[in-house]
Amino acid sequence: EDLELSGYQHFMLKEIHEQPDAAAMVLRGRLDERFATARLDGLGLDPRELRGFRRIKILGCGSAYYVGQLGAQLIEDLARIPADAEAASEFRYRQPIIESDTLYVAVSQSGETADTAFAVEEIKRKGGRVIGVVNVVGSTIARTVDGGIYLHAGPEISVASTKALTNMALSFALLALHLGRLHDLSHADGQRILRGLQRIPEQIREILDGSEAIAAVADDVAKAQSAFYVGRVRGFPVAREGAQKLKEISYIHAEAYQTSELKHGPLALIDPDMPTVAVIPDDELTDRNLAAAEQILARKGPLIAITHAGVDLGHLAARTILVPKNEPELDPILLTIPTQLLAYHAAVLLGHDVDKPRNLAKSVTVE
């Protein structure tokens, strides 16, 4: 019965609504209150080995790659280990330097994406250590890696991934917490993140309870030929994934930009027909983000702000989608949820087959 729509119009919507439960599943049994850390028994690496890694390289394709970027930021924030994400599809072809003190992380819902599986093989051939962040148990990538974190998101049918991505992000938060506590992250900060993680399932539910307001905003996006998604630092992967979703299922051209880069080029395209979805969290960059929002509005660009209640958008003529606040490091996980609903409702308004977008496959098992 897992594979049925259970009253939802599409699998994508069903899977969006499964996220509170799915999120609880990926966290279950992995939060260690006593030591303020994450318990990750499947990693297959002992603390001494983990402490020895000087760099983390995350590899994935499509949305998994964007969540990888979010994960790299979490690792840098919490563990202070240099981390970055790269498209697995490019990795093999640029003669990558495989280093013994780098921990490689392959991230994939299906565990069958050929580009990601080939990247894993290449790393292993050259003696690198690689773990997986994978949903499908026993899949090709899960079997090839040295260890890893299973997502426990349950089966995902919709081509456009939602609950698996949220669980990937949560898995990276667990990994970042685990690594952080083996390095300099204090017990108090570990507790702070742990408590934040515990709040996430309920906060996702809160966002979903307010989804009608998001559906109303989707109208603005559905009318457009093209849209910008902007965010900075922690918000940038949110923008990239948001733009990707819109492209995939609504066929509206969408481009993600760092908010800070707007003034270095794309501002030229802002006009009343070009909406911008701006990720504006309540954090140390709020003022800068608001200054960029002013620039957009000064050029009469319609603005949709995905933001927190603490941000004063006062005089700005923006459509606002409010997201509950968590810890700054974890906020991107929640800020992503409205972008799923925006893309979903835009696609429905345009009459597209949401679960089976043209030209795309759920998992690409050929190169």
Tell me the catalytic residues. 362
Taking the complex as a whole, how short is the minimal distance between the CB of residue 334 and ligand G6P, in angstroms?
Answer: 20
Give the burial class of 358: count Cβ atoms within 10 A of its Cβ; 0-12 exposed, 13-18 middle, 19 or more buried: exposed
Q: 166-203: buried (b, 16+ CB within 10 Å) or exposed (e) per residue?
A: bbbbbbbbbbbbbbbbbeebeeebbebbbebbebbbeb
Please identify which residue in 116, 259, 336, 340 interacts with ligand G6P, judged by CB under 6 A: 116
Distance CA 309, CA 307 (A): 7
Please identify which residue in 73, 109, 166, 339 interacts with ligand G6P, judged by CB under 6 A: 109
Q: Does 139 bind ligand G6P (CB under 6 A)?
A: no
Handedness of CA 9, 10, 16, 20 (dihedral sign): positive
Q: Does 364 bind ligand G6P (CB under 6 A)?
A: yes
Decide if 73 contacts 233 (C-beta within 8 A).
Answer: yes
Q: Does 307 bind ligand G6P (CB under 6 A)?
A: no
Question: Of the two residues 109 and 276, which places its CB atom closer to ligand G6P in the complex?
Answer: 109
Please identify which residue in 20, 62, 190, 301 interacts with ligand G6P, judged by CB under 6 A: 62
Q: Does 153 bind ligand G6P (CB under 6 A)?
A: no
Taking the complex as a whole, how short is the minimal distance between the CB of residue 108 and ligand G6P, in angstroms?
Answer: 3
Decide if 252 contacts 225 (C-beta within 8 A).
Answer: yes
Question: Of the two residues 65 and 228, which places its CB atom closer to ligand G6P in the complex?
Answer: 65
Tokens found for residue 21: 């439960």
Taking the complex as a whole, how short is the minimal distance between the CB of residue 104 and ligand G6P, in angstroms?
Answer: 15
Question: Of the two residues 317 and 360, which places its CB atom closer to ligand G6P in the complex?
Answer: 360
Handedness of CA 203, 85, 241, 256 (dihedral sign): positive
Taking the complex as a whole, how short is the minimal distance between the CB of residue 58 and ligand G6P, in angstroms?
Answer: 12
Which stretch of DSSP H or E encloses residue 318? Answer: strand 318-322
Taking the complex as a whole, how short is the minimal distance between the CB of residue 300 and ligand G6P, in angstroms?
Answer: 34
The footprint of ligand G6P on this chain (CB under 6 A) covers a number of residues equal to 15
Question: Of the two residues 48 and 358, which places its CB atom closer to ligand G6P in the complex?
Answer: 358
Q: Does 161 bind ligand G6P (CB under 6 A)?
A: yes
Please identify which residue in 102, 113, 289, 340 interacts with ligand G6P, judged by CB under 6 A: 113
Q: Does 250 bind ligand G6P (CB under 6 A)?
A: no
Q: What does residue 227 show for φ and ψ, rounded to 5 degrees?
A: -145, 150
Q: What does residue 280 show for φ and ψ, rounded to 5 degrees?
A: -125, 80
Taking the complex as a whole, how short is the minimal distance between the CB of residue 136 and ligand G6P, in angstroms?
Answer: 8
Q: Does 227 bind ligand G6P (CB under 6 A)?
A: no
Distance CA 327, CA 176 (A): 14
Alpha helices in the chain (DSSP H): 11-17, 19-27, 47-52, 63-79, 88-91, 114-125, 140-144, 163-182, 187-209, 211-222, 236-250, 286-298, 331-335, 337-349
Distance CA 177, CA 235 (A): 20
Please identify which residue in 9, 198, 360, 365 interacts with ligand G6P, judged by CB under 6 A: 360
Residues that bind ligand G6P (CB under 6 A): 61-64, 108-110, 113, 116, 159, 161, 360-361, 363-364
